[in-house]
Structure 1
């Protein structure tokens, strides 16, 4: 974004004080009120500071907020479709079928790597870490208990897969936000993360495979698996046909079709399967898409596994995103992030320090806002000019932002992602942190590449960079 004219430029000290105020607001609000309200309070404080002390007009601030909403709307629409996907795939039996077939391939020696790969692939297919951890995660953590595998270790494999799949998915709301904020084609960004997230995933898979050898010869809780499978078969007609929505979404994603139409196709096919295969009334399925799908079997754990999704399930996080966009829009004309970036940019003018700084800001921003969106938005606002002057591309900025932010939300106690993990798996961040291998490897590779120049696009300093294939004229950011 271009610098906005104002009667007085905010100073570096003022900007730092503003960030400290943010930290105080968030720290004070933990456990007292929702994260979105803390973000909104920061936005109000920022707007009042700009109007009263920097002589910025409200019209200018409001215009910046509206611009931010326009840029970020694609990510909101994708998140909306994630709610529809989860509910329709539960109603159709698609997610239950994935669970049934997935359970058939597990044994103690390959459990960890299989759990990681399954959750990663489904995360890539759905673009939703939350839906995967609340479905596959619940099933897998129960199987791990039956095998005697420590919950923290099993949870590490599950969380690694869920959040790596989400971050590396063309359907991910966070990744789509990173692309939209930088005017990029989502598939260009996806390919640009292959050397970081891709190799991070391979490294994590190898480590989990090696650790899994320690549990070779362990006994799987076949009784528990049979109970789970019988419960699912009692509610659904399971067949390979139910995997059609997943196959279609993956196929058209690989073919680089627009994300929203692909997700809509996945929902429509799932609705048809719910009616034709499962014998559900169309009205019942449509109601589930809005309110969430519910199952009442009398078994609390099974009901939890087979219920969820729907528009209302993502309403809370959508409100947080709205608040985050409001804060980001207010920050732009005030120039606080720009003042900090200019100061830090004078220290980190080269690729290595700048990449390190971007990763750090992504982590800090995610903790600050309680969501990965804040880290992505802050980085995109703060470092666009610095990356351009350093001869780096928007792809480089978006990748570093996502590597710093994408995995971090699972580690923030006041973030919805961590709440979902605690609720679904019964473990906290401290238990799975040592086994969060995809996180450690990805950010380490990102920093290494920054200082070596490996896997960076070669561009001339001072030339404005955008993805050649980026096309935002249709409002999709893709």
Structure 2
């Protein structure tokens, strides 16, 4: 085959060649899902990314596109997007462990269980799951522990399983999305090149209205459902009290952390200080047996594993530590190398140009980002891959059209992080359906926050609320913004 017919007269990859590494990535991931299940994506995802990287590099070398300079530029751009996330992810793992062992999260769980009300159960379940997800940065942990408990309580009260699951998932994913401890939030902001806390603040313009509408609907459902008595949560509270010193003083740690966030200190500094406060809280507020410096370092590395006498609570207080975060770090690094080759060889630019050539208006660009994010969730069955690929595809388009990078990071979060749980074969959807015992298609219409958020993202873009125009943007393009 003539190379020029494939790579063109300027020795650039054609659209067909550029599609080969991406097609291999998608087809292989779908095959893994079919034959091994969606859970296997996290295990095989990095290797599939590295294989796709090798294919792209081989094609580029064969066509003479893989110049040392181009690949160096691609590696630099990709590394600048991805590498800042790694120390943040490590700090997140330490914060999650120290805040659990210091009693911060258990105290919040205890207070949440004590304010249960039959008529307001769905609202309370949603709010409590949201608060716990904010503090832990993990929707999966919240759903697998407190969510399971709420499922049993809600069933006794007379609520249908889909509505209970919808309230739990809505709250857990809202909290996960706006938490500085969430790895998906870190990946989204890093991929778009946006400061983490700036990203979270900008998310509020779409997430708060979506959550507000969801809570109103959950309240209406609660007052129109024939509910029964409020079951006793004493056994769970007893297990918490026997394991932790549940003192309101422990909440000083998250309070000070929120103050640091409000002062707009750098993300890494805030998380490092939050971790140190958690370490201090372990020795000040708690009395864990055998907890000395060596034990602390062991827990930070491999995670915590305490026995409370309650199976659901045991899984909550058992954190993964730094070791549990390493698979995510491996995936992020693998995606960085894939992005380096796609950027350095010009393949990503070719794909982006083909899919975004006609996009000029703000609403259409955000709408395309949202649709691409939804499609990536279906194709890759993994939210991390979806965030990284979508971010690399659209980053230059937003810059070229004078749109802020934080608009891109928000559009990705609105369409990827919260909708992954709605795809039956996505790792999130399959996991939550299994944990809660409710099929994805059954709870889908009740996950109001997850459904409304991408809609709200496009609506806010259409209104132009808090979306300033760049002075670098050509006037002809500015006139087409809406």
Whether TM exceeds 0.5 here: the answer is yes
Are 1:96 and 2:106 matched, yes or no?
Answer: yes
Task: Please give the residue correspondences for 1:40-439 in structure 2 after superposition, counting only pairs within 5 Å.
Answer: 40-57=50-67, 60-61=70-71, 64-65=74-75, 67-215=77-225, 217-222=227-232, 225-280=233-288, 281-282=291-292, 283-297=294-308, 299-412=310-423, 415-418=426-429, 420-422=431-433, 424-439=435-450
Aligned to 1:19: 22
Deviation at 1:100, TM superposition (A): 1.0
Is the Cα contact below 8 Å between 1:127 and 1:165 reproduced in 2?
yes
Is the Cα contact below 8 Å between 1:108 and 1:219 reproduced in 2?
yes
Q: 1 CA distance for matches of 2:275 and 2:339?
A: 32
In angstroms, what is the RMSD of aligned CA positions?
2.8
Is the Cα contact below 8 Å between 1:43 and 1:327 reproduced in 2?
yes
Deviates more, 1:101-110 or 1:358-367: 358-367
Is the Cα contact below 8 Å between 1:363 and 1:404 reproduced in 2?
yes
Q: 1 CA distance for matches of 2:438 and 2:346?
A: 40
Deviation at 1:60, TM superposition (A): 4.0
Which runs of 5 or more structure 2 residues have no equivalent in the other structure?
1-8, 476-482
Aligned to 2:4: none
Deviation at 1:461, TM superposition (A): 6.0
Q: 1 CA distance for matches of 2:132 and 2:315?
A: 19
**1:354/1:301 CA distance change after superposition, 3 Å:** closer
Deviates more, 1:258-267 or 1:408-417: 408-417
The one-character-per-residue Cα deviations of 1:234-270 (angstroms, maximum 9, x if unpaired) are 2222221222222222222233222222222222222
**1:86/1:142 CA distance change after superposition, 3 Å:** farther
**1:116/1:54 CA distance change after superposition, 3 Å:** farther
Deviates more, 1:209-218 or 1:61-70: 61-70
Deviation at 1:90, TM superposition (A): 2.4
Q: 2 CA distance for matches of 1:26 and 1:56?
A: 26
**1:58/1:115 CA distance change after superposition, 3 Å:** farther
Q: 1 CA distance for matches of 2:399 and 2:272?
A: 37
Deviation at 1:101, TM superposition (A): 0.9
TM-score after normalising by structure 2:
0.86
**1:117/1:10 CA distance change after superposition, 3 Å:** same
Is the Cα contact below 8 Å between 1:138 and 1:305 reproduced in 2?
no
Q: 2 CA distance for matches of 1:413 and 1:55?
A: 39
Deviates more, 1:344-353 or 1:452-461: 452-461
**1:81/1:356 CA distance change after superposition, 3 Å:** same
Q: 1 CA distance for matches of 2:413 and 2:108?
A: 28
Q: 1 CA distance for matches of 2:300 and 2:433?
A: 25
Deviation at 1:332, TM superposition (A): 0.7
Aligned residue pairs: how many?
458
**1:93/1:393 CA distance change after superposition, 3 Å:** closer
The one-character-per-residue Cα deviations of 1:399-431 (angstroms, maximum 9, x if unpaired) are 222212221332345655446534643444323
**1:449/1:274 CA distance change after superposition, 3 Å:** closer
Aligned to 2:478: none
Q: 2 CA distance for matches of 1:245 and 1:423?
A: 34
The one-character-per-residue Cα deviations of 1:39-62 (angstroms, maximum 9, x if unpaired) are 222222222222223531367436
Q: 2 CA distance for matches of 1:410 and 1:423?
A: 12
